[in-house]
Amino acid sequence: MRQIVLDTETTGMPVGEGHRLIEIGAVELVERRLTHRNYHQYLNPERVVDAGAFAVHGLSNDFLQNKPRFAEVVDEFLDYIRGAELVIHNAAFDVGFIDAELKRIGYPPLAEHVDLVTDSLAIARHKHPGQRNSLDALCRRYQVDNSDRTLHGALLDSEILADVYLALTGGQWDLSFDNPAETATGGQAALGTIRNDRPRLRVIAPEAEAVTAHAEWVERLRTADAAFEWPGVGS
């Protein structure tokens, strides 16, 4: 099972007012294990970043002006996510922006490139009704370290969301002891064999007094059990 945990940053909102993508970040999970095959791209939005959005992510117009446009990187992006299940927090927001970018250059919508889109916010609301289910709130609930998150960033947020999603959907972060990257590429498991010439473990035998005391305790239990009349047993 291949999953892509994805996040975006934008010039503002809503998408219906012409706001654009400025950053896409994603991490890959294979069989619920991080492969560390990430995707990260800043984008030139060809418009001004709103002051409110800049306060959230810190990506300025000057920083973005020399970055590639979405049309220049779309094929690489679609190759990365193709056929996977996307995991997105508040998926309608990110999907709306990606679909708008795809439509602008004449590409089919996101749903035609991926197998499924899963909204982790919907999962969290179902599991924790009536509680705060922002990414920061879920980090606190599941003890996921987000201390580096002073500003929003698509790649950092997708890495944090991957940890939150794994905890949210069962708490089993790793289904085996295999090395994640090697398993994802069909390599050997990380577990090594135990050498026959390894140092032997030291065996500490109990003292004679302890053996005698234990035998006496077991005998007392046996005698007490034999003398007890169990309800419903016998004539």
Residue 91 lies inside a defined structural domain of this protein: yes
Which residues carry out catalysis?
152
**Residue 205: inside a domain, yes or no?**
no
- Rounded Cα distance between 151 and 137, Å, is 15
- What is the model's pLDDT at position 216? 76
User: How long, in residues, is the chain?
Assistant: 235
* 219 is a domain residue: no
Q: In the prediction, which pLDDT does 189 show?
A: 37
**Where does residue 23 fall: left (phi above 0), alpha (psi -120 to 50 degrees), or beta otherwise?**
beta
In a domain, 169, yes or no: yes
List beta partners, residue 39. Answer: 26
Question: What CATH number does residue 152 fall under?
Answer: 3.30.420.10
Q: Is residue 137 part of a domain?
A: yes
Q: What is the CA radius of gyration of the chain?
A: 28
Q: Are residues 110 and 95 in contact, defined by beta-carbon separation less than 8 angstroms?
A: yes
Tell the burial category of 197 from Cβ atoms under 10 Å away from its Cβ (0-12, 13-18, 19+).
Answer: exposed
In angstroms, rounded to a whole number, what is the distance separating the alpha carbons of residues 231 and 235?
11
Quote the tokens at residue 32.
Answer: 């619920």
pLDDT of residue 230: 45
pLDDT at position 81 is: 98
Q: 232 lies in a domain?
A: no
Identify the domain containing residue 38 by its residue range.
2-184
Domain contains 210: no
Q: What is the number of structural domains in the chain?
A: 1
Distance CA 102, CA 90 (A): 19
Cα four-point dihedral sign 127, 15, 95, 171 = negative
Cβ atoms of residues 114 and 94 within 8 Å:
no
Confidence (pTM): 0.72
Residues of the chain with pLDDT under 70: 150-151, 171-205, 221-235
Q: pLDDT value at position 214? A: 73
**Residue 60 forms part of a structural domain:** yes
Per-residue pLDDT at 229: 53
DSSP 144: -
Residues 6+ apart with CB under 8 A from 39: 4, 24, 25, 26, 27, 28, 77, 80, 81
| pLDDT score for 232 | 47
